[in-house]
Amino acid sequence: MAAANTPTPTRPLSGHRPLLGVSTKMYFTHARTTAFTRTLLTHLISTPRAAEVLSSIDAFLIPDFISLPAVLAAITTTTTPSGLPITIGAQDCAAADFGPFTGEVSPAVLHEVGCGMVELGHAERRALFGETDGDVAAKAGAVVRNGMVPLVCVGEKRGGGGEGDGDGDGDGDGVRAAAEEVGRQVAAVLGELDPEAEVVLAYEPVWAIGAPEPASAAHVKGVVRRLRESEVVKARKGLTRIVYGGAAGPGLWAQLGGEVDGLFLGRFAHQPEQFVKMLYEVGGRSIMGSSNDNRTIALDISSTKRSNDQPSPKPTFLPIAEFRQPISRTSMENTPVRMPEAIRVAKLQMAEDGGLPSSVNTGKSRFFQPVGGFESTRRTGTWGGFVSSASTYLNELRNLLFIQALGIYSFLRVQLKKLAGAVTKLAGLAGFAIACVALWSALSSMHDTRQALVLAQWTARKDFLQYCHSVRETT
């Protein structure tokens, strides 16, 4: 059973909201997963009506196991006026809570750290690791037992689902064969679960995973409709939602016409801005906003510009937590780096010494932006304003030049370390060569000594024989 006093999952699922989520599989490094999460949160916080969209759907993110704590911390500590309702899930788990199962991940531990969902039975795990319907059912039972929602992946192996499949209503031979194969997978799992437990079924045709195009809307509708009408699904009291995955992308939600309960996105959504666009599509909102709103919603906050009528704000200092870049100082000192990375390290060092102006921290200097500076000062015609603006720009230029100098210093420091390492290697090779020469001389001396010893022995024997012969002749 799940441990007592465990924290509440990141966001409880609801039966009245569509689902939209993405799994990073094993495509991301830990650093990229952290950057993806941070960028996604930045987009959501800065995009108008994002909280309204998130409140109308169940969004979920499934990173790798190692990145789970960092992603959970980022999601749960992000503060917005209405919170950030995103469920975090895991990509697999063990069927047992605890025990001698080296390398497995306990569902009890996943719930303890805050996971609300676990993905199970993906086609890759079935094909590569030999997972059966019985294995998936046992894992799903463990997920439910620990207070989480199982996301069970099902799908037929045989190809099909093209535009010509069926008669337009999704009732062709391909749909019937797919529904029978998928129905057996669903029955094996649901038959082992509590009838009142919540379950999410991800219909992912194996032949459509990673394909250029998803299965046709008629095929998906036909298979999903037959699944809903199956006895094993209709007999359940608990909530059973069905989402579609397999090359899912923009426009598919509208094509499916509400027949499915959501979308399970793949590599298309590995770009944060694309995932945000899909949130708006499934949440029933437009990225461009309503018709009476002529402003474009900027998904990239770095592209926001000030009006020429607004004065240039004074530089403000950002806290170190807002300034840090995803770069390890240890790795920077021990590995070759390019100049931009060295500059970022120099910026980090300056921030720790007291901070930098926000225009420098964000990597965009107002010195190179012709807005609110010399142009606006020239319109005002005040010499004092001109001097003030010039002083501001010169100060920022000085900061940038100082950053460049520190970057060059860091770059040269790394190169000198590389040179010192090369010299050390050359010295080692030279010492090895000298040792080889000395060893060769020693071996040659040993050979000469052995030859001299053999010659001495032969001479002694000859002299002894000659002596014996002379004694014999005299007697």
User: In the listed set 257, 283, 309, which residue is the last one of a domain according to the structure?
Assistant: 283
Do 276 and 417 share a domain, yes or no?
no
In a domain, 214, yes or no: yes
For residue 167, is it within any domain?
Answer: no
Q: Please report the sign of the dihedral spanned by the C-alpha atoms of residue 45, residue 48, residue 51, residue 57.
A: negative
Indicate if the alpha-carbon torsion angle 119, 125, 126, 127 is positive or negative: positive
* CATH number for position 193: 3.20.20.70
DSSP 357: B
| Whether pTM exceeds 0.85 | no
pLDDT of residue 120: 97
Instruction: State which residues form the domain around 258.
Output: 19-159+172-283
Q: What is the per-residue pLDDT for 386?
A: 61
The pLDDT, as a whole number, for residue 113 is 94
Q: What is the pLDDT of residue 197?
A: 94
Residue 367 included in any domain: no
Residue by residue, pLDDT tens for the chain (475 residues) are 344 444 444 555 555 689 999 999 999 999 999 999 999 988 888 877 777 788 888 999 999 999 999 999 988 776 554 456 889 999 999 999 999 999 999 999 999 999 999 999 999 999 999 999 999 999 999 999 999 999 999 999 876 555 445 445 556 788 999 999 999 999 999 998 999 999 999 999 998 887 778 888 899 999 999 999 999 999 999 999 999 988 888 888 888 878 899 999 988 899 999 998 898 888 864 333 433 333 333 333 333 333 333 333 333 333 333 333 333 443 333 433 333 444 444 444 444 444 443 333 333 333 333 333 333 333 444 555 566 667 766 776 776 777 777 778 878 888 888 899 899 989 999 999 999 998 998 888 888 888 889 899 899 888 888 888 888 888 7
Domain boundary residue among 283, 315, 350?
A: 283
The pLDDT, as a whole number, for residue 447 is 87
Is position 13 within any domain?
A: no
How many structural domains are present in the chain?
2
Structure token pair of residue 17: 């909201």
- One domain for residues 113 and 245: yes
The total of other beta-carbon atoms located within 10 Å of residue 346's CB is 20
User: Is 331 among the domain residues?
Assistant: no
Residues whose CB falls within 8 Å of the CB of residue 171, separated by 6 or more in sequence, listed in order: 222
Residue 347, in any domain of the structure = no
Domain boundary among 250, 283, 316: 283
* 266 part of a folded domain: yes
pLDDT for 16 equals: 67
Within this chain, do residues 269 and 415 fall inside the same structural domain, yes or no?
A: no
Residue among 307, 323, 299 nearest 369 (CA): 307
Residues labelled as active-site residues: 122, 204
In a domain, 215, yes or no: yes
**Could you tell me if 257 and 400 lie in one domain?**
no
Distance between CA 293 and CA 313 in Å, rounded? 27
Do 87 and 231 reside in the same domain of the chain? yes
